[in-house]
Amino acid sequence: MTIYVNLCQHLKVDTSAIDDILRLQTDGLDKKNLDDICIFSPETAEIHVTAFDSWKEVVDILPTLEHRNKGYVFKKLWCCTCSRVGNNCTTVNDVLKEVWIDVEKRWQLFGEQLKDGTLTFYEFVEMFGSISEENGQRLNDEITLFNITDHVATTRVDQWRKYTRLTACVNGAEAILALQTQYKLEGDFEAMQTIASVINREVPI
């Protein structure tokens, strides 16, 4: 639940009721505290924890949320969605409906496209752009969080590296052609024109 509360901090959501319960974990539990958060059934001799009953739907997604929150993509999608919904969320359950459901859907779609190769290079770079080429292992780890095999992840990283090098060549060719136009340079610039035209950021990865 701590992870969920921390994610709620991106919005103006009152989490004080949950904070009080979580604080018991660090402050220690006595009999009174236990009575406040648990119910003992003499018939079954079982203890039912009632502390989070008001947020049952949130509790249900916690295992999935914990896994998702390990990845950069999920955190980026979460922050972007929080910025979009803004003041629409005022309660913990609002965050579940307004943010979690949308982010989970987009995360799943991104993962499916990443796995089957229908994601465009533009979309790939837009999402992973801040992870440098030198950090290929981190990128590989991020991709496998989508339940993608290491083999496919390695293939995607290799494709991305080749695309990055190609982009650098295209940018260089475009710069040369810009100088040629600006200063009316003469010569054979056909090779530069060919290089500048080869990249299409909308093609699948």
Nearest 5 degrees, angle CA 9-CA 12-CA 15?
Answer: 65
Contacts of 163 (CB under 8 A, 6+ apart): 121, 125, 205
With beta carbons less than 8 A apart as the criterion, state whether 194 and 178 touch: no
Q: Which residue has the tokens 């982010």?
A: 103
Return the domain boundaries, the chain: 2-116, 119-205
The per-residue pLDDT for 151 is 95
> Which pLDDT tens digits describe the chain residue by residue (205 residues)?
899 999 999 998 999 988 888 887 666 655 555 666 677 777 777 766 677 888 889 999 999 999 999 999 999 999 999 999 987 888 999 999 999 999 999 999 999 999 999 999 889 988 987 776 567 889 999 999 999 999 999 999 999 888 888 888 988 988 999 998 998 888 888 888 887 887 665 656 6
For residue 4, report the phi and psi dihedrals to the nearest 5 degrees: -65, -45
